[in-house]
């Protein structure tokens, strides 16, 4: 399987990548790890005419502490997030989610920013960024802006990222305690259900991926939280786009969501 022809350009800075994106518009795609895009190109589901490679841009490959937040560069690979001491200490739930992605080889290439921008409804990070109340930092021609995780995911493979924008970092408020619990699709390793739960004072924040077309915060369950796990019965309350496929139909997926929210709350 060979992709359609394209032009390949290595960008050396975020500014250059944005200039290239503006110049080529819809014909261009950003690539870093490429572990969603390249398979799609080989199947010719994606046929960009220009590929802008941002993998070598060091300025978005850093993990730094800024006050009460951990700022994770978009270029960080899943593997880096599983081993980085700052991530393990301050946003351990992110390290846990990263460890659940694909396999060793995929984790060595795929990136945080790439996964978020791709917005596969079965990917692992959305649950975590939602539960952490993280903000996505993006940069475009008109400058830099931040997007709250709750506003970022808009539909299947659809985000609030503008056409001329790239994700540069994700800002995670430090987490005292968090957990990521996942029911793996046994062949693809994607999440049939993925639940991130994070302590928030006496309360809890719960992010759910894999269940609905758009990853969501299980707010009904959060509001019913009493320190135990009985509120897990509300895991899909108010969610109207529960996915159904040949791995898990709507009823089974809803059931799994409740089971995995319960497990997450019990693991907190």
Partner 1 sequence: MNISITVNGKIHTHDIEPRVSLAQFLRENLDLTGTHIGCDTSGCGACTVTLDGAAVKSCTVLAVQADGGEITTIEGLANGDEMHPIQAAFKENHGLQCGFCTPGMVMTAVDILKNNPDPTETEIRHGLEGNFCRCTGYHNIVKSIQHAAEQMKG
User: Using CA atoms, how far apart are residues 189 and 179, in angstroms rounded to an integer?
Assistant: 18
Q: Token pair of 253, please?
A: 């997926």
Residue with tokens 């994106």: 21
CB of 159 to partner 1, least distance (A): 23
CB of 54 to partner 1, least distance (A): 11
CB of 157 to partner 1, least distance (A): 18
By CB under 8 A, residue 79 contacts partner 1: yes
Q: How many residues bind partner 1 (CB under 8 A)?
A: 30
By CB under 8 A, residue 156 contacts partner 1: no
CB of 176 to partner 1, least distance (A): 28
Choose the binding region for partner 1 from 11-19, 47-55, 122-130, 206-214 (rule: CB under 8 A). 47-55
CB 94 within 8 A of CB 132: yes
CB count, 10 Å around CB of 16? Answer: 15
Residue with tokens 């997450």: 264
**Of 16, 19, 24, 38, which lies in the binding site for partner 1, with binding defined by CB under 8 A?**
38
In the window 163-192, what residues touch partner 1 (CB under 8 A)? 187, 189
CB of 239 to partner 1, least distance (A): 30
CB of 158 to partner 1, least distance (A): 23
CB nearer to partner 1: give 23 or 42.
Answer: 42
Q: Token pair of 216, please?
A: 């969501």
By CB under 8 A, residue 118 contacts partner 1: no
From its phi and psi, is residue 33 left (phi > 0), alpha (psi between -120 and 50) or beta?
Answer: alpha
User: Using CA atoms, how far apart are residues 2 and 252, in angstroms rounded to an integer?
Assistant: 37
CB nearer to partner 1: give 188 or 223.
Answer: 188
CB nearer to partner 1: give 105 or 142.
Answer: 105
Q: Token pair of 268, please?
A: 């907190």
**Strands 7-10 vs 50-53: parallel, antiparallel or unpaired:** parallel
In the window 207-266, what residues touch partner 1 (CB under 8 A)? none
Choose the binding region for partner 1 from 101-109, 150-158, 169-177, 222-230 (rule: CB under 8 A). 101-109
User: Using CA atoms, how far apart are residues 91 and 75, in angstroms rounded to an integer?
Assistant: 17
**Of 16, 19, 53, 164, which lies in the binding site for partner 1, with binding defined by CB under 8 A?**
53
Choose the binding region for partner 1 from 30-38, 142-150, 156-164, 170-178 (rule: CB under 8 A). 30-38
At residue 110, φ and ψ (nearest 5 deg) are: -65, 150
Name the DSSP letter for residue 188: T
By CB under 8 A, residue 3 contacts partner 1: yes
Name the DSSP letter for residue 174: -
CB 91 within 8 A of CB 132: yes
Question: Which helix (H) or strand (E) covers residue 125, if one does?
Answer: helix 125-131
Residues that bind partner 1 (CB under 8 A): 1-8, 10, 31, 34-35, 38-39, 41-42, 51, 53, 55, 79, 83, 102-106, 108-109, 187, 189
């Amino acid at each position: 399987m060979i992709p359609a022809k394209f032009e390949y350009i290595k960008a050396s800075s975020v500014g250059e990548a944005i200039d290239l994106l503006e110049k080529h518009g819809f014909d261009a795609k950003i690539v870093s790890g490429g572990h969603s895009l390249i398979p799609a190109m080989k199947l010719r589901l994606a046929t960009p005419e220009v590929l802008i490679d941002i993998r070598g841009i060091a300025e978005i490959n850093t993990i730094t502490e800024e006050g009460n937040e951990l700022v994770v560069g978009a270029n960080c690979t899943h593997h880096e997030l599983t081993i980085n001491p700052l991530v393990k200490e301050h946003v351990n739930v992110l390290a846990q989610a990263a460890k659940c992605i694909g396999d060793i080889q995929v984790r060595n290439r795929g990136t945080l920013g790439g996964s978020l921008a791709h917005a596969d409804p079965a990917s692992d990070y959305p649950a975590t960024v939602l539960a952490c109340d993280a903000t996505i930092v993006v940069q475009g021609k008109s400058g830099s802006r931040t997007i709250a995780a709750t506003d970022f995911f808009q539909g299947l493979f659809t985000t609030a990222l503008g056409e001329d924008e790239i994700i540069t970092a994700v800002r995670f408020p430090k987490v005292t305690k968090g957990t990521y619990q996942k029911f793996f699709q046994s062949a693809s390793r994607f999440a049939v259900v993925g639940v991130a739960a994070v302590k928030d004072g006496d309360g809890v924040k719960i992010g759910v991926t894999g269940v609905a077309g758009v990853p969501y915060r299980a707010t009904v369950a959060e509001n019913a939280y009493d320190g135990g796990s009985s509120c897990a019965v509300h895991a899909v309350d108010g969610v109207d786009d529960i996915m159904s496929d040949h791995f898990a139909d709507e009823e089974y997926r809803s059931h799994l969501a409740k089971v995995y929210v319960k497990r997450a709350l019990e693991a907190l």
